[in-house]
Amino acid sequence: MHETHSCGPAYRDDADRPYATGLAQLRTGRRVLIAGAAASAAGVAFSASAASAAGTSAAASPKRAYVLVTDGCRPGEISSTLTPNLFALRAGGLHLPKATSLPVMETIPNHVMMMTGQRPDRTGVPANTIYDRSLGAVRTMDQPDDIAVPTIIERLRARGYRTGTVLSKEYLYGVFGERAGQRWEPSPTLPITEHAPDIFTVQAAIAMLQDYDPHLMFVNLGDIDRFGHADLTGTTLQVARRLALADTDLQVGRFLDAVRSAGHWENAMVIVLADHSMDWSLPLDFISLQSGFDADDLLAGNVTIADNGGADLCYWTGQAAKRRDAVARMERIARATDGVLSTHRPASLRLGPNAGDLVVYCEPGRRFSDPSNTSNPIPGNHGHPATEPIPFFIGGGHPRVPTAVKRSTLTHTYDVAPTVASFFGLSTRPYEGRAHL
Ligand SMILES: [Zn+2]
């Protein structure tokens, strides 16, 4: 839902949408649909690229790694009563309570960090929404070539391991593209637009497990986030959020049962984490920077903002010679704006050039609405430091997974790739993050 403010204007036309691109590739034969028994029974479809890695000894490995992202889940929301399956998995495995999302605390950059093990100045993906200077437009980072470095998916696949992605959001489906050996294709079978409900996503994950049995499966569960963007100041919607948490937990339970039924539990590592948490603002507690910039004689008409909910990415589009002065003015104006927490040069947050010239965070309980007061009406947002804490724990029956251990090591989303690499015996040297097994 929050994507309405960031995805809306991002496509030049519908043909550019990732689902539409995938469908066109299926029609022209560039992608091939695979019909497994479980997939057919569940009414889901997978695709594979023509060139899959040849079978090697890796293909016979009994190890299984499952990465489940409970999108937008706050660590405090996991409890024995509301989310018993997640609670039990956490209690029985390695609990990493000092875990955080990394800037910008949005969905796409953190999923990319999980799979690349690197920060955005290397991955090329600093936020959900950027101003694309070559395109001259604000757009969603949902194109496969937006990721500039290899993912753990490709590394494993090149070594002959089977890899699968089951991603519930259109832009994640788009940005990870054809990297995995097997991919869930939501559009041919489900009447969905931007998100698939968890019940369908997990149905697809279970079918993939039964038909293709990937060594690494990467799954995004979008329901908690989707309901999180609703207004939690009303009782009805607090109930909706709790229902989403309970249902996601039920779906995770179904998936773990399928792992056990397939006989993989003793060889499995299950990483559960969120990409960011969630913060809520009252309807009128938004901040808009564009009008302040436009009231300045130097900045007027020469600053474009990519709104990322709790973070505004500001781009100077005027003469290069005036950039230094312009950014200093942007900083001054932003800092003087009520509700702004802090301003940062993108390099200091390791965001790289795609993040523009200035990153502005809001205070807890606030959100950005740019370029206009009506651009972002959604109360639930993330992207700012208030949404850093995330759940992160590792369960499963593989002997390398510690039993009932709580470790206060600092942990981040980009630790997923090195942890998976280490599990499969690959070098962790390419990664900035650390392996936790
Ligand atoms: Zn997310």
Dihedrals phi, psi of 124, to nearest 5 degrees: 90, 0
CA of 50 from ligand 1 middle (Å) equals: 31
Residue 174's alpha-carbon distances to 1, 165, 289, in angstroms, are 17, 11, 30
Question: Domain ranges in the chain?
Answer: 3-280+387-423, 286-376
Q: What is the pLDDT of residues 70-125, one digit of tens each?
A: 999 999 999 999 999 999 999 999 999 999 999 999 999 999 999 999 999 999 99
Residue type, 33: L
Q: Could you give the CA distance from residue 413 to residue 101 in angstroms, rounded to a whole number?
A: 6
Antiparallel, parallel or unpaired: β 279-280 and 380-381: antiparallel
CA angle 108, 75, 309 (to 5 degrees): 40
CA-wise closest residue to 10 among 133, 173, 139: 139
CA distance 275 to 390: 7
Task: Print the SS3 string covering 161-207.
Answer: CCEEEEECEHHHHHHHCCCCCEEECHHHHCCCCCECCHHHHHHHHHH
Angle between helices 198-211 and 235-261 (to 10 degrees): 10
Distance (angstroms) between ligand 1 centre and the Cα of 88 equals: 23
Q: How far is the CA of 128 from the centre of ligand 1 (A)?
A: 9
Ligand 1 centre from 110 Cα, in Å?
Answer: 8
Determine the pLDDT at residue 33: 83
In this structure, how many other beta carbons lie within 10 angstroms of the beta carbon of residue 203?
A: 24
Q: What is the whole-number distance in angstroms between the Cα of residue 388 and the centre of ligand 1?
A: 12
Q: Cα(70) to centroid of ligand 1, in Å?
A: 8
**Section 294-304 average pLDDT:** 98
Cα of 169 to ligand 1 centre, how many Å? 9
State residue 52's pLDDT score. Answer: 53
CATH superfamily of 286-376: Domain 2, Phosphonoacetate Hydrolase (3.30.1360.110)
Provide mean pLDDT across the span 320-326.
Answer: 98
Around ion ligand 1, residues with a beta carbon closer than 5 Å are 71, 107, 225, 275
Say what the alpha-carbon torsion angle 47, 51, 52, 53 is, to the nearest 10 degrees. -170
What gap in Å lies between CA 94 and CA 184, rounded to an integer?
29
Checking if the pLDDT of 299 tops 50, the result is yes
CA of 221 to the centre of ligand 1 (A): 9
pLDDT digits (tens, 9 = 90+) for 4-60: 333 334 455 666 788 888 888 888 888 888 878 888 888 888 888 655 555 578 899
CA of 365 from ligand 1 middle (Å) equals 18
CA distance 373 to 319: 27
Distance 2 CA to ligand 1 centre (A): 10
The lowest-confidence range among 44-53, 282-291, 369-378, 395-404 is: 44-53
Of 257, 180, 260, residue with least CA distance to 220? 180
Across the range 357-369, mean pLDDT stands at 97
pLDDT of residue 9: 40
Report how far ligand 1's centroid is from the alpha carbon of 419 (Å).
21
Token pair of 389 as six digits: 């804490």
Q: How far is the CA of 316 from the centre of ligand 1 (A)?
A: 27
Q: Using DSSP bridges, classify how beta strands 268-273 and 64-70 pair: parallel, antiparallel or unpaired.
A: parallel
| Over residues 407-433, mean pLDDT | 97
How far does residue 225's CA lie from ligand 1's centre (Å)? 6
| Single-letter code of the amino acid located at 328 | A
Whether 116 contacts 294, CB under 8 Å: no
Give residue 275 CA to ligand 1 midpoint distance, Å. Answer: 5
359 compared with 27, residue with greater pLDDT: 359
pTM: 0.95
Gyration radius (Cα) of the chain, Å:
21
Quick one: CA dihedral 342, 348, 350, 354, positive or negative? Answer: positive
Q: Which CATH class is domain 3-280+387-423?
A: alpha beta
Q: How far apart are CA 321 and CA 434, in angstroms?
A: 41
Q: Which of 241-250, 387-396, 410-419 has the lowest mean pLDDT?
A: 241-250
Distance 140 CA to ligand 1 centre (A): 14
Mean pLDDT, the chain, integer = 91
